[in-house]
Amino acid sequence: MDDLTLAGVTLGSRLILGTGGATSLHALEQAIRASGTELVTVALRRVDPVGGRAAGGLLEILERCGVGVLPNTAGCHTAVEAAKVAHLGQEAFDTTWVKLEVIGDERTLLPDAVELVPAAERLVADGFTVLPYTSDDPVLARRLADVGCAAVMPAGSPIGSGLGISNPHHVRLIRQAVEVPVILDAGIGTASDAALAMELGCDAVLVASAVTRAADPARMAAAMRHAVIGGRLACEAGRIPRRFHALASTPDDGRPAL
């Protein structure tokens, strides 16, 4: 499979793994290795040694796996808050990349477009490589690309829902609407969803819950790895047109008279 170029950086895998939802760091490490990913997301939360969130444990695993770190702004509801978390992520992880999330609704965790665009614009101005989690709205995707985002990451369906891609047509329209990479983010439930995303023309897929909350995360991570490769190849290969009736693949010519 061809490499993915994201903001000038070449990635050998078109699968990005979210680390949220894993039952243990050990299970997460196994999933990361099985996925073949080169980039994983992390959140920023309070150091809480009593509650079990010591500083450093997760980062050590990511370093051992040799994957890049993409900090997110999960849980932010305003542009101001998201920008601050992005800057804190830069401090903690020494990266200017950010998966920008500005949530507008608690039940669906869908993005707040009105806050998202100015947040993206501000962070681009601050020198960040901004990868915004967005809805499946082609116009919003174009607006995000216009303000300088390095990619757009439309939700297939709500985060953690496993509902797959609820509007494949919009995902196709987004692919046509922007020049930057399109990364299907959120809603993937199983391998066929990831393959479909790639067949629709997405450049990469970001998966978290579908892997980390699977009964066997490492096995699902391997499934996603193959699904993304298969979907990408199928997209490039060019599928046959859909037909209403059958079209024989075996020729009539030479058929014996019996």
Q: Residues with catalytic annotation?
A: 99
* 42: nearest Cα among 95, 3, 103: 95
Residue 211 has a CB neighbour count (10 Å cut-off) of 32
113: contact with other proteins by CB under 8 A: no
Q: Which amino acid is at 10?
A: T
Q: Contacting other proteins (CB under 8 A), which of 39, 130, 145, 159?
A: 159
Neighbouring-strand partners of residue 18: 41
Given 4, 11, 42, 149, the residue binding other proteins (CB under 8 A): 42
Q: Which helix (DSSP H) or strand (DSSP E) does residue 189 occupy?
A: none
Considering the complex, state which of residue 89 and residue 231 has its C-beta at the smaller distance from other proteins: 89
Can residue 208 be called a binding residue for other proteins (CB under 8 A)? yes
* Sheet of 153-154, strand order: 97-100, 129-134, 153-154
User: At 218, which amino acid appears?
Assistant: A
* Contact pick of 49, 238, 254, 256 for other proteins (by CB under 8 A): 49
Q: Is the four-CA dihedral 22, 29, 61, 97 of positive or negative sign?
A: negative
Given 34, 186, 200, 224, the residue binding other proteins (CB under 8 A): 186
Looking at residue 172, its amino acid is: R
Asked if 87 touches other proteins (CB under 8 A), the answer is yes
184 near other proteins, judged by CB under 8 A: no
- Binding of residue 104 to other proteins (CB under 8 A): no
Q: In the complex with other proteins, which residue's Cβ is closer, 34 or 159?
A: 159
DSSP string, 128-172: -EEEEEE-S-HHHHHHHHHTT-S-BEE-SSSTT-----S-HHHHH
Residue 71 or residue 156: which is nearer to other proteins going by CB? 71
Q: Which of 59, 114, 125, 139 binds other proteins (CB under 8 A)?
A: 59
- Residues that bind other proteins in the complex, under the rule CB under 8 A: 18-22, 28, 41-49, 53-56, 58-59, 62, 69, 71-72, 74, 84, 87-89, 91-93, 159-160, 186, 206, 208-209, 212
